A and B are shown apart, each in its own frame.
Chain A
Amino acid sequence: MIRLIRFELIKLIYRPRIYLCLGLMVVLVALIFWGLKTEGDNAVSYVVKSLEKNFVINGQVVNGYFVTFIILNTLWIHLPVLIVIITGDLFSSELESGTIRLVLARPVGRSQMALSKFIAALFFVLIFILSWALVSLWPALILFGKGDLLVFFNGVQILEEKDLWWRFISAFGFAFLGMASFAIFSVTLSFFIRKSLVTILISIGVLVISTLLQTLSTSLFTGWQSFLITYHLTQWQLFFYTDIDWSAIFGSVIWLVSFSGICIVAALVRFNRMRITE
């Protein structure tokens, strides 16, 4: 099993598209930096002005923490797309290219091979999220400075600077869980669909439709949102409430872990029954 995981990780590291995805993520973050650096104060000024009628505001509202929060809030739908470009064809590309025969003709078990694909996907997501956290938070604090965080959820939430690090770490940790679940879903799809491009497109389609339904659910499908993966992907926001709803967070954690487990079992069953005829 260790040999197979190493095998998958080496292949992953050598794939050019992994660097393309990481590069795109950096570009997206840099664009947000640029936008907030040039127009950030203007963009939030109208909100701040209304607050200034009742409160005295010291320091920068648009500080490094605020920028990182905006990045988290903006990219939660873009990043799964980048992730799925890698994970969506981890298996199907082997089927399409025929390299699966090279692997399966050696003394390796199918379940082990499938599990090593999932572990490689998780490794990629971990690297991706760590890179994301690194290129967001660290440059943001240098470029925009420090301070308390003002967020606008059901009114204004003011979070003290000393209380922010664990919240960001938790938020990125939860983002890892959400993205990992989505990556596992896309890997599972590839066991059923066999075509890389179709797998990637369907994964993105699920993300888009789920987002749309989540938006509509407030008005049309009340109560349905907890069945949508995007609902659970966005639960990292709960870490930025002054009073954290831990039960909602744990509920989402259980949902995402269970969903991932079901996906993995489905992929294992499918793969063990699959005839490699290509």
Chain B
Amino acid sequence: MINLLARALMMSTPLLYGSIAEVYAERTGMMVTAIEGIFLMGAWGGFVVTYLTGNLFWGVMTAMLVGVLTAALYGWITVYLKQHQVVTGVAINTLVLGLSAFFMRVIFGIPITPLTIDPLPHIHIPVLSKIPVLGVILFQQNILTYIVYLIIPLSYFVLYKTSVGLIIRSTGENPEAVDVAGLPVERIRFLVVLLAGALGGVAGSFYSIGFLGLFTTNIIGGRGWIAFAICFLGNWNPRGAFFGALIFGLAEAVGIYIQSSGVELLPNELFIALPYILTIVLTVARRSFNVPAKLGIPYKKEN
């Protein structure tokens, strides 16, 4: 049971990075529909560099960088060229699916056995990890999970207690008001999309170098979209995203646990599908949303 909860927290970590990324971006009116592709690029870039250098730190940094690059492409097309956010995102997701597979071949050819690396180690925090039950769940995780503990309260603070947060929140509600206040709407949106790219890249790397230690082109398998949905379900705030990510992480952990326990109550596929079913159920069940008023709408100024 304790192991299951520890596993759940681990599985929710990348979803948290992803959904926080969406919270920031969507608060400025930008749906980062390229999130699935950003995850995939993060997983790919993180793996490749870690494999070649043997250095996990540079792996995570590279994941962040390719996440930012993918987001920059998305942001350039949607913010500056004012193209449709959903269409652009789908196009980029399809593009990087091909790109990552292509570059794996270019770099590694067709290996006979799957390429693997040692994933990020679990760090036992001194003293705290010795606390019964909670210590095992909370303080025997890898570095990315520890960082995310800080990101949630930090994001809450930034969004609600600082001028930057006020600007971010206002941009998604009424970009015109931001413009009239003398602030550059497009630059704000573009920068926040880049931030989302950095967070999304790290999220993606969690799957390849965070615990699996390998890369396949279907490694993300829709988890970017789940992070996207968590942002909606969490009502565009960090706390909501936190609880949403925990629920999905738990669902994933339960799925893995039941599969590996060998008990065959129901077909395995059902448990693999659990997070996806949950997404649909929760999205339908959630009734009122505080959608940012200008979500998905490009800001066009006559000039």
Q: Do A and B interact with each other, yes or no?
A: no
